[in-house]
Structure 1
């Protein structure tokens, strides 16, 4: 069974209080997508007759991958068309993540338009030479072995000359997931943190950096399945003063724009002798201030 089933299975402690169990990880710090996905599950457990359309979260403290996380949900508003929730993720009495999520009724109607998906090779035509991938990236891919992640080669897609940094990634769950649309939305919240911050490193392939997610925002636009191929079109408009801004558009294989993400992350020049990714059991890595991104 895929790890996502364990990630999205929360224990109800009391009304609007939930707990996520420890998910085995090679990282010291909790994967940011895991905390965001679990916070979204907690919020959706308090909602009826509406679907999430956006979330905004801040990673405000370091999460320990070896400890469970408690999620406290605050019911901000319940209206006829929209509902709002705020969620705090807590470890050892300290808040590590804060998220606000908005939910909208599913039968509204209005104008329709959408960006087009860029032309790229089909996922089946994309192969990755693991020997050519940096060690830090290999560690990350091993951690995400439940997911089929295929980065499109730079020469295989047309670049926007006005965009400083860009990359394109196909990804999907290797395991068939339940038909529940909420399960797929929460799964994509987990997946959306994968590779996004790495898009800021494309112009700097040999520059070692300490990386961590600082904040994360998502908009869910159309129905999709996370166990079918999704194209993650990523750009990084800016990197400065140890932080990088990244932005992603997620399309299904039919070319429908299903979600949009924006994230700022730490991209601090790595101190000499420090490891890029904090691995459990090793002491030679500087602890990230927030989550592993």
Structure 2
């Protein structure tokens, strides 16, 4: 039912979006997909900002955390300039500040820290029990076929990420969406990525913004769009705990500890199929009822 680009073709288009043009020392330019939403997707600008920062760091140092703020909506028809500031290069860590600009105005800024690999203490909480395997969960095509009137932008934009909701998506009608304290989604890049760890981190950053705020709505059985809520990401933080491949399945286990004052807080943990905890995300979003 959908003409959206999927699979390796969509993945190659994502790689083009993440392949920034170098304008000079610590300056880069990125573009948005040719088909997309009316404003730049937050995961895209965060991923591109991380690409810019990472290109100024020794490749042996891997990103372990990032913290970003969405300041203004971005225009997908205009290029985005990224300016990187080198905050510090120490013996073990490198810190960068990456700023995204359009028309001379900041639309997003991020601090990112990179760490050389070291041995140390190692533990993590277990993967949630009883979660079905990705092959036992409906595909996005299955979801779109079941709810064509609610599919919205999902039905048209390129989908480089295979997204499989364990529960109901945030765009499913309220009557079909009972309250649930968790929003769990299987994800993977829907094709092959190069082996560059920075690209996998940027792809995971892109994916981390796709469904995280759904968990705020999930608590209340609410829905995005008509009859429900409109929203926007305000800030985003991501910690990378262990090495991973973004083109292999990972479970995004999300929940919302609080919502008030038209803002909702969401946190998510990412686990491989083998149960390794590879990343944690936290985001606050603006959530307003349609028409308010």
Is this a same-fold pair by TM over 0.5?
A: yes
Query: Which 5+ residue runs of structure 2 have no aligned equivalent?
Result: 1-8, 169-178
Gaps of 5+ in 1: 155-162, 273-293
* 8 Å CA contact 2:162, 2:187 repeated in 1: yes
Matched residue, 1:183: 199
Aligned length: 263
SS in 2 for 1:260: strand
Matches of 1:212 and 1:230, distance apart in 2: 24
Q: TM-score of the superposition, structure 1-length normalised? A: 0.85
- In 2, Cα distance between equivalents of 1:197 and 1:144: 21
In structure 1, the residue matched to 2:68 is 57
Residue 209 of structure 1 contacts residue 269 of structure 1 at CA under 8 Å; is this kept in 2? Answer: yes
Q: Shift of residue 22 of structure 1?
A: 3.1
| Residue deviations 1:145-168 (CA, integer Å, cap 9, x gap) | 2221110037xxxxxxxx973110
- Separation in 2, partners of 1:144, 1:116: 33
Quickly say closer, same or farther: Cα 1:126–1:257, change in 2 above 3 A. Answer: same
Q: Does 1:169 align with 2:185?
A: yes
The SS at the match of 1:34 is helix
Q: How does 1:1-293 map to 2 (within 5 A)?
A: 1=9, 2=11, 3-48=13-58, 49-106=60-117, 108-119=118-129, 120-127=131-138, 128-133=142-147, 135=149, 137-140=151-154, 142-153=156-167, 165-202=181-218, 203-206=220-223, 208-271=228-291
TM-align CA RMSD: 1.8
The answer to whether the 8 Å contact 1:234/1:248 transfers is: yes
Give the Cα–Cα distance (whole angstroms) in 2 for the partners of residues 133 and 196 of structure 1: 21
* TM-score, reference length from structure 2: 0.85
Any conservation in 1 of the 2:144–2:151 contact (CA below 8 Å)?
no
Structure-1 separation of matches of 2:65 and 2:150: 31
1:51-99 per-residue CA deviation (whole Å, 9 max, x = no partner) reads: 1000000001111111110000000000001110001100011000010
Point out the more displaced range, 230-239 or 130-139: 130-139
